[in-house]
Amino acid sequence: MQLNTGVENMGRIAVTDGMDEKTIAFLESAGHELELRHHTFEEILDGSLAIFDAVVIRSATKLCAELISASVTKDGGIRFIGRAGVGVDNIDIDAATEHGIVVCNTPGSSTRSVVEMTIGHLLSSTHNISSADRSLRRGEWAKKDLKGSEIGGKRLGLIGFGRIAREVARIATEFGMEIHVYDPYVTEAPGSIQMHDEIDGIFQKCTHISIHCNLTEETRHLVNSKRISMMPGIGLDGSNCGNHIVSCARGGIVDEDAAAHALESGALRTLALDVFENEPYDGSLIDHEGFHGSPHISASTIEAQSRIGLEMASLLVEFFETGVTSTSINNIQ
């Protein structure tokens, strides 16, 4: 009789891009059946996910309409797509909705990590922290060549003003930066933050810019040569600090060729990217001393992964118990 107790609340879950160990242990102890392995495009097209009830992905698995169709059958297949993380541009939400599949992400779990990474990249690039470390490891003492600049007393432009950008704004203000924001979906901002109606206004005003929007057709290559050339180079405080761009958002928003040219010409003094148009990245930005890169690790902290895992686990438990979740991207109830 025990076998029947709540057995309908258990699910077969494909975890294609890895999962925090504590979360695996929690879900397995709750009776769910987990398979942890990556599925290729061809495998999914052949229906490899259709034997599962749910799939949990990160950014490495791309679920286009074709693969979502291949993952459902007449009387079964996946009913839940969990994105362990924030960005859902790797999931065709409309296709999922059409098939009645609930799509959930874990939007708040990585905020603190990404905020810290954004400020870390901003300070590391303006103060030459990574290039200093490289020169020391080459056996050089490049003190004279590594004069940096302060972020205090400068204008920081934020493209997009969601959860992460708001925290970046709060902390950057404490460093003495003046905050400028462009976000067509936001009309009011707290305190002394200056809102702009036109994105070009951000580039014309700000020596420091951080990207916090989603990747859409509208935002692709939003940071291009023309806009970089508008940046003032001279800080609000009058210092010749040059121009600096940071992105821990999504690859493809910054036109990488344009940014490389700008580093070459001096139009940009530094560029810090945690995300790239094609990952793994193997382009030519690394030829520039002013480039500071990281391999999409802004949410790769012990704490964020643990929070993401626990949030996803609670969504899965809720879904298998009730058939719906209290929050979902596509509002399926």
Of residues 64 and 171, the one with the C-beta less far from a copy of itself: 171
Binding pattern for the stretch 110-129 against a copy of itself, x by CB under 8 A and - elsewhere: --xx--xx-xxx-xx-xxxx
The C-alpha angle with vertex 206 and arms to 200 and 212, in degrees rounded to 5, equals 75
Q: What are phi and psi of 234, to 5 degrees?
A: -100, 125
> How far is residue 68's CA from residue 50's CA, in Å, rounded to a whole number?
9
Nearest approach in angstroms of CB 271 to a copy of itself is 12
Binding pattern for the stretch 61-100 against a copy of itself, x by CB under 8 A and - elsewhere: ----------------------------------------
Nearest approach in angstroms of CB 282 to a copy of itself is 6
Long-range contact set of residues 234-241: C-beta below 8 Å, sequence gap at least 24 = 234/207, 235/149, 235/153, 235/154, 235/155, 235/207, 236/153, 236/154, 236/155, 236/178, 236/207, 237/153, 237/154, 239/149, 239/150, 239/153, 241/126, 241/149, 241/150, 241/154, 241/207, 241/269
| CA nearest neighbour of 62 among 278, 317, 220, 323 | 278
Nearest approach in angstroms of CB 276 to a copy of itself is 10
Binding pattern for the stretch 153-172 against a copy of itself, x by CB under 8 A and - elsewhere: x----------------xx-
Specify the pairing of strand 72-73 against strand 54-57.
unpaired
Alpha carbon separation from 185 to 196, 204, 216, 251 (Å, rounded): 12, 21, 14, 21
Binding a copy of itself by CB under 8 A: which of 65, 69, 175, 323? 175
39 assigned to active site: no
Specify the pairing of strand 244-247 against strand 178-182.
unpaired
Residue 293 interacts with a copy of itself (CB under 8 A): yes or no:
yes
Q: What are phi and psi of 290, to 5 degrees?
A: -80, -5
196 assigned to active site: no
Binding a copy of itself by CB under 8 A: which of 237, 261, 314, 318? 237
Residue 147 interacts with a copy of itself (CB under 8 A): yes or no:
yes
Residue 134 interacts with a copy of itself (CB under 8 A): yes or no:
yes
Nearest approach in angstroms of CB 14 to a copy of itself is 20
Residue 234 interacts with a copy of itself (CB under 8 A): yes or no:
no
Nearest approach in angstroms of CB 211 to a copy of itself is 17
Judged by CB under 8 A, which stretch of 4-12, 186-194, 286-294, 318-326 contacts a copy of itself? 286-294
| CA nearest neighbour of 258 among 273, 241, 279, 280 | 273
244 assigned to active site: no
Encoded tokens for 179: 């905050």
Known catalytic residues?
250, 279, 296
Q: Contact residues for a copy of itself (CB under 8 A)? A: 112-113, 116-117, 119-121, 123-124, 126-130, 132-137, 139-143, 146-153, 170-171, 174-176, 237, 239-241, 279-282, 286, 292-298, 300-306
